Amino acid sequence: MNVSMEKGWKDILAKEFEKPFFLQVVAHLRTEKATKETIYPPGPLIFNAFNSTPFSELKVVILGQDPYHGPGQAHGLSFSVPDGVKPPPSLVNIYKELHKDIGMPIPITGNLLPWAKQGVLLLNAVLTVRANEPASHAKIGWMDFTDSVIRKISQEKTGIVFLLWGKFAHEKQALIDETKHYVLKAAHPSPFSADKGFFGCKHFSKTNELLVQQGIDPINWHL
């Protein structure tokens, strides 16, 4: 299976592209496109997280669950929206925590690409969704693929900081070797749960402390 992806990731994940779960994902997407279903993000952006953050430059993983399902929102980076699109509620709460944690002014843009360019993998557990149908692709095989991605990062890298927000993300902790990586957990930034442990988590300053301890340049979170 020939997948358009940054070379470092493509080399590490080559065997995954031939596995039944990945072929099942491809077949499912082709079937839905043939029936004129609208799928987000657009095809060229499905692997945007990998293409924006080369494997060799990886420092941090922020795990989301599902792409945004409204028009023009999803562009292949977890929690992020393109320039000109109003930041969704969870992202607004992420910005509030950044303001409290490091004093970052609340940005106008919802585009987190500058983080990705610095080594922050903005990975959704599910990489596509049908328009206006949240979690519609949750069971087509994507999670087998992204679980493999997390395992590969754990195996091949050291010192990566994983930010796991919410119960769904917490379940991925079992895939990570914590003898060689760092896991920071908090509630999800959704308006339904942000006040149950996301606000005040200080994950952004803590992430930079962990990177600096390793002699790695910290992330400039300012947008």
Q: Which residues are catalytic?
A: 66
How buried is residue 30: exposed, middle or buried, by Cβ count under 10 Å (0-12/13-18/19+)?
exposed
The secondary structure of 98-124 as a DSSP string is HHHHH-PPPPS----HHHHTTTEEEEE
CA 1 to chain centre: 23
Q: How far apart are the first and last CA of the chain?
A: 37
Residue type, 63: L
